[in-house]
Amino acid sequence: MRIAVDISLYPLDVDYVPPIRDFIERLNRHGGLQVTTNAMSTQVAGEHERVFAALEAETRVSFATGGRAVFVMKVLGGEPTAAEREALEHY
């Protein structure tokens, strides 16, 4: 089953940009996922098992190496349509 996850990372640190960039770079290393980033969040689409395996691994790394942080996730069953992806890019 294909899913899409809209995820935002909020590091609880003044220097918040490097952990966000690192998280996104690590997500992009996972095969079989479509990763799209905009100013507010990152969308990860793919097979359910692959998406959650990547999120489990990379949220774990972020918590272990980056200190305290908040992840906010929304999960949508099915891959976003082209129109939905385009609309998200404008935010």
**Total domain count for the chain?**
1
CA 33 to CA 47: how far, in whole Å? Answer: 8
For the stretch 27-68, pLDDT in tens is: 999 999 999 999 999 999 999 999 999 999 999 999 999 789
Range of 72's domain?
2-89
* The two structure tokens encoding residue 40: 């507010």
Specify the CATH number for the domain of residue 73: 3.30.70.930
The answer on pLDDT for 91 being more than 90 is no
What is the pLDDT confidence band of residue 17, given thresholds at 50, 70 and 90? very high
**How much is the average pLDDT of 4-20?**
95
